[in-house]
Every structure is written in structure tokens, then in C-alpha cells.
Chain A
Amino acid sequence: MHELSIAQAVVERVENLRNERHSSRVSRVVLQVGSLAGIDCTALRQALPLVVENTALRKTEWKIVPVAAKIHCSACGCESQPENCFAVCAHCESADVRIIQGRELLIETVTLIEED
């Protein structure tokens, strides 16, 4: 269950940001998780509520956006989404490809509530 460590890292970072900005609450956090990041989105979704207990993020809405793997073909310049085969371009079958998307593990946005 390393999703628990991931959740802890997210909460720590968001709490730091909240304190820096002197916000009382965080309404929404958007995360991006690539299919090659080695993260189980369901497990991450389950881990977050456990980690935010007793923090100001109890009521935060978490949005986890999965990012599909993508390869770029140097031969035809096309991008395609591999399923099992990362080695050939889906368009021209060239093997001159590289992975350009799918390793993401990002905090995309944090929406802070500022009570004035």
C-alpha cells in the first residue's frame, strides 16, 4: 500500500501551501496519475480520507485524473496510445517510438478558500 505514502506526501504539500497562503481551507485538489506511474488510483482514493483525518483538509474534494500512456513515433510523427505494445507506432508500425506520457504523478491544482 504505497498509495498511503503518496497520499501522505500530497497532504503534506497541500497543507504547506495552505499555511503559506494563510488559507483556512482547501476546497479542491486535482491530481494527475499516469498509467505508468505505478499507482493504483482506487487505492489512492481510499488512502486520502485516512490521511486527512484531523487536518484542515477533511472536507477537501479530491479529483484524481488518470493519464493514459502515449508514445510518439519519430518515423511518422504520430502519437498513439499503446495498450500492451509500447514498441511500435499504431499508425505506421515503426519501432522508432518513445514514451511521452504516462509517468505523471502530479498535484495539478489546489483551490484555496480565503476567508476575508
Chain B
Amino acid sequence: MCDTCGCGTESHHHHHDTEHGHDHTHDHEQGHSHPHDHRHDHAQAETTVALREKILSKNDTLAEKNRAWLDERGVVAVNLISAPGSGKTLLLEITLERLRERIGCAVITGDQQTDNDARRLAGKGAPVRQIETISACHLEAERVGELLPEVVTPDVKLLFIENVGNLVCPTAFDLGEHFKIALLSVTEGEDKPVKYPALFSQAPVVVITKTDLLPHLDFDMTRCREYLRKIHPGIYTFELSAKSGEGIDRWIEYLAGLTG
């Protein structure tokens, strides 16, 4: 078989001028000229290539590169994923303040538009960069990789990547994080884990947010924990409120424990 075109003929020569400069009497229009015998029956042959290749292999490769880059520097990266408005940014605001004197933190935050989140997170002692994805509903490894050297300054040990608010799409795109953290606010209903198993089956950690609102809602916490266990046995759960501060201590100690 011909390595250049895989066409299954043994007898033809390709004329790549750089390889062998012999003359051919005719040229084809395509870049790959094909001086097979000059039959004019131009039969169509179908070849099925068994590719079995990951569609996002390009993104996955870049994500692996990001992870290796972070590992070299001893940085732990988490990818925060939730529906829009579940409280990712407010939780990060509190978290940066609380970790300020303890651990070097950095944030990459993604939104379709505006740098509102980056501005909310600025001035809390951590480098922050915004990615505006415009039309995309998720972050991808390439753009994150470009920002790593800017945001991961020498004393950073913990990188938060706040993904675009979306419960589905970001799950498919590895960014090079060490693991995903799913957020679920109590206003969204306790059955989110079974409705969106893709995220909740992948994230080893889930944060149930806005618990200060529980008295106003019918949210069934026991049910929610049960659903989570069904989708992901052993999933590590936090229940907290960034407004009242309830449950925040345990979250902070957990994060502090991530950086050895």
C-alpha cells in the first residue's frame, strides 16, 4: 500500500519533487499528483477507515499539557461547574478572602460576555483573568493554557477555574484541571443530579449552595443527598451559604488540605 495516499497500489510513483526529482509527463491539479496507469474508467472505490478516535482528542491533548504544566509547579486546579447563577463567583469571593493569608490562589473565570466576574474577584490578593467565550457555552483547554503563565505566579498553589454557567456543556471539555467541582443551589431543586447525571457522575465533589434560602423553599435535602449517592456513590458533599457563612469553615479547611 502506498504510504502517501493509502491507495492500495504498489506500482505507482508519487512525484514529490523534494524526495525524488524525476520527471513526469503530466500533472494533476490536486496537490498530490497521481501518475497511476492512465486508465480512463475512473472507478469509485470506498475505503472505510476504523478511526475509533476521541472527537475531542485535540482538546484532551492540550488539557494533558496544562495538567503537566500545573503538576510541575505543584499547583492544584479545580474546575467549578454549575448552572448560571448557582453562586460560583460569590463563593470564590469569600474563598479568596478567607484563604488570602494562607494559600496562594489564582482564578480564571469564564463567561460568554463581560468581565463582571473578574472585577468582582479582583483586589482579593489573587491574580484573576477573565475569558469571554462570546458564543461558546464552555471553556476549552487551549484558551486556559494560554492564560496559565499569566495567572499562575510563583506563589500560587491553588487555581480555581470558574466555568461558563452551564450544567451540561462544560462537562465534556477537560481543561487540565485535577478534578471538577459541581455546584448546585437549593433554588434549582433537589432532582438536578438525576436530571444531569453527566456532570454529577464525573465530579467527585459537589457544593450545595445558598442554604440560607432553605426556609423559603421546598428543597428536600435528604432527597438530594440520596440522588447524589445514586448517581455518584462516595461523592463528597458540602452544604453552605456564601451569604450567611454557614458551612464555609469546612469548605475552607477542605481547600487548605488540598495543597500539601
Residues of A with Cβ closer than 8 Å to B?
1-2, 4-6, 9-10, 12-13, 17, 20-23, 27-28, 31, 35-40, 69, 84-88, 95, 97, 99, 105-116
Give the number of residues in B that approach A within 8 Å (Cβ atoms).
49
In the complex, B169 has a CB within 8 A of chain A? yes
Chain B's closest residue to A83 (CB) is B194
| Bound: A104/B163 CA distance, A | 22
Residues of B with Cβ closer than 8 Å to A?
4-7, 30, 32, 34, 36, 39, 42-59, 135-138, 140, 168-169, 171-173, 194, 197-199, 201-202, 227, 229-233
Collect the chain B residues with CB atoms within 8 Å of residue A109's CB.
48-51
Contacting pair A2 B230 (CB below 8 A): no
* Given A31-B55, A105-B56, A107-B54, 15 further pairs, Cβ under 8 A: A1-B137, A13-B53, A21-B6, A22-B6, A22-B7, A69-B197, A87-B229, A87-B233, A105-B172, A107-B53, A108-B51, A109-B50, A114-B44, A115-B43, A116-B43
Give the number of A-B contacts (CB < 8 Å): 135
| Bound: A69/B43 CA distance, A | 42
Known: A36-B198, A38-B199, A113-B46. Contact between A106 and B52, CB under 8 A?
A: yes
Contacting pair B55 A21 (CB below 8 A): no
| Bound: A18/B186 CA distance, A | 49
Main secondary structure of the interface of A (DSSP, over half): mixed
Contacting pair A106 B54 (CB below 8 A): yes
| Bound: A113/B45 CA distance, A | 6
Chain A's closest residue to B33 (CB) is A22
Question: Could you list 30 A-B pairs, sorted by A, with CB under 8 Å?
Answer: A2-B136, A2-B137, A5-B136, A5-B138, A13-B58, A17-B51, A21-B7, A21-B49, A22-B6, A22-B30, A37-B198, A39-B172, A40-B168, A84-B194, A84-B231, A86-B201, A86-B231, A87-B232, A87-B233, A97-B233, A105-B55, A105-B172, A106-B52, A106-B53, A106-B55, A107-B51, A108-B52, A112-B47, A113-B46, A114-B45
